[in-house]
Structure 1
Amino acid sequence: MQTETFASFDGTRLAFHRAGEGRPVIMCHGLFSSSQMNWIKWGHHDRLCAAGFAPVMLDFRVHGDSEAPHEASAYPEGVLIRDVVALVDHLGLAPGEFDLVGFSLGARNAIHAVASGALTPRRLAVCGMGVAGLAEWERRAAFFKRVIDEFDTIRPGDPEHFARSFLKSQGVDREAARLLLDAMGDFDLAGLAAITMPTGVICGAKDDDNGSAEELARLLPDATYHEVPGTHMSSVTEPEFGEAIVTFLEKA
């Protein structure tokens, strides 16, 4: 495992972790999580390496080992999409030379990047994402803004308590996180028509945090739906989650 940093489009230093040899797989984690929490801790990167892939796991700004600037100018619209594009450029990867995998927020940004033409992976895997997570981002962002704004008054039993505990456990910089939440907008589902490469939609059987993943698979031009055990938070901890990613990426 190697951990490296690079300067993104605006000079912000971002960390990424990579291992293995073979086809690069760009991996994007979920909101207020990290590469360590989503991909490394549960052995998913090892499964990819064993299958002959080379996972490249980005820590988004404000997450993991990457910088968390406090200047509003560091959070233009679509900033995380631009960070993923900057990583691909930094690695010198041409269209079709890599696969792209995202979980939750990472899946959302992967879809935005591919639909806009900013990235062209060989295969795309979107995990823990449904139509509501794309088209109703403003509603979800408002929930996390409330968690940040009311952080010190949230108590056990409150609807926001689990999210508060997760942010605290991950050491999230709340000031930077608040700025980041305003840098993303809703996605027009009509844009899904532009995603023409094979796409795997992978989701926990009890995961409805972002709406229907099965509906998302139906709306994509060339998608297959893969169900794994768990909820939104627990599915990523299951071995079947990583195995589903490998199985999808191994297809010719």
Structure 2
Amino acid sequence: MPSFHNGPVEIAYIDEGEGNPIFLVHGFGSSAGVNWVYPGWVSALTKAGRRVVALDNRGHGASSKLYDRAQYSLEIMASDVRALMDHLDIPHADIMGYSLGSRIASVLALHHPERLRTLIIGGLGYGLIEGGGPGEDVAVALEAPSLEDVTDPMGRMFRAFAEQTRSDRRALVACLRGSRQWLTPEQVASIKTPALIAVGTNDDVSGSPQRLHEVMRGAEMLDIPGRDHMRAVGDRVYKEGVLAFLARHD
């Protein structure tokens, strides 16, 4: 993977295809490869005539591992996306996040709306406002001596995922504790970028997409039938809905 530096932090990324650019921002504990390449997103988007840029968030994948939670605020992580856009000389683009990536993308839409053509909020509902999702129980699970020592169900899910992806668990703990900030309803309502909210109907991590839609009244909604937080990522309905949404806004 190529990389660039945002200050002292090295950020790895992929850049494939030609056409209107879309930036992909992965979820907590994942990477560009796990979240976007392996589930077929990069292939689907490039085949649809898009230029796809996906970064490994700081603390994840091939990017720099940092152990100070202060280095993982949503604003700082959003600055990595903006710096990558500058590095590639892309003034504005479609942006799709998943879970934590959706919170990062939403902060970018809030503070730098001129950089976004559209905003796709995947795997995140009202948790954008009221919190929820992986919290301190997950941090404790990541710090546990082994998976067998973890009893919390969500903690076990994220600990097993971290082990499967061979992640730096210490960096993930710093990221988790440093990025737990939420937007207010007023901030979310002020986002005027054309948006799509896409959440699995069996997702018990993201918070209610319907409640988020009540705040983001101009957004569109996409239900991903029968999918939970992890299994929604590569779903065909999700891909087709996103491609149709992008086509409507080209």
**Above 0.5 in TM-score?**
yes
Q: Is the 8 A contact 2:199 2:206 kept in 1?
A: no
One-letter amino acid of the counterpart of residue 16, structure 1? Y
* Alpha-carbon distance in structure 1 between the residues aligned to 2:68 and 2:200: 36
Aligned match of 2:33: 36
SS in 1 for 2:115: coil
* Alpha-carbon distance in structure 2 between the residues aligned to 1:202 and 1:76: 24
In the alignment, is residue 106 of structure 1 matched against residue 101 of structure 2? Answer: yes
In the alignment, is residue 246 of structure 1 matched against residue 243 of structure 2? Answer: yes
* Alpha-carbon distance in structure 2 between the residues aligned to 1:219 and 1:82: 25
Give the share of equivalent positions with the same residue, in percent: 27
From 166, 174, 178, the equivalent of 1:171 is 166
Aligned match of 1:199: 195
Q: Is the 8 A contact 1:198 1:223 kept in 2?
A: yes
RMSD between superposed Cα atoms in Å:
2.1
Please, which moves more after superposition, 214-223 or 165-174? 214-223
* Alpha-carbon distance in structure 1 between the residues aligned to 2:174 and 2:152: 24
* Alpha-carbon distance in structure 2 between the residues aligned to 1:169 and 1:193: 37
* Compared CA separation, residues 145 and 158, structure 1 to 2 (3 A): closer
Aligned match of 1:4: 2
Aligned match of 1:148: 142
* Alpha-carbon distance in structure 2 between the residues aligned to 1:231 and 1:79: 29
* Alpha-carbon distance in structure 2 between the residues aligned to 1:59 and 1:119: 23
One-letter amino acid of the counterpart of residue 135, structure 2? A
* Alpha-carbon distance in structure 2 between the residues aligned to 1:127 and 1:208: 14
* Alpha-carbon distance in structure 1 between the residues aligned to 2:241 and 2:171: 33
* Compared CA separation, residues 158 and 211, structure 1 to 2 (3 A): closer
One-letter amino acid of the counterpart of residue 147, structure 1? A
SS in 1 for 2:167: coil
The structural deviation recorded for 1:182 is 2.8
* Compared CA separation, residues 183 and 73, structure 1 to 2 (3 A): closer
Q: Is the 8 A contact 2:222 2:238 kept in 1?
A: no
The structural deviation recorded for 1:226 is 0.7
In the alignment, is residue 208 of structure 1 matched against residue 200 of structure 2? Answer: no
The structural deviation recorded for 1:123 is 0.8
From 99, 124, 131, the equivalent of 1:129 is 124
Structure 2, unaligned runs of 5 or more: none
The structural deviation recorded for 1:85 is 1.6
Aligned match of 1:21: 18
One-letter amino acid of the counterpart of residue 132, structure 1? G
One-letter amino acid of the counterpart of residue 207, structure 1? D
Q: Deviations over 1:119-146 (max 9, x none)?
A: 6311111101011244215x73312212
* Alpha-carbon distance in structure 1 between the residues aligned to 2:148 and 2:163: 12
Structure 1, unaligned runs of 5 or more: none
* Alpha-carbon distance in structure 1 between the residues aligned to 2:159 and 2:44: 31
Q: Deviations over 1:204-239 (max 9, x none)?
A: 121131211122122114201011231111011222
Q: Is the 8 A contact 2:125 2:212 kept in 1?
A: yes
Aligned match of 1:79: 76
One-letter amino acid of the counterpart of residue 2, structure 2? E
One-letter amino acid of the counterpart of residue 141, structure 2? V
* Alpha-carbon distance in structure 2 between the residues aligned to 1:35 and 1:168: 17
* Compared CA separation, residues 224 and 72, structure 1 to 2 (3 A): closer
* Compared CA separation, residues 233 and 75, structure 1 to 2 (3 A): closer
* Alpha-carbon distance in structure 2 between the residues aligned to 1:153 and 1:243: 36
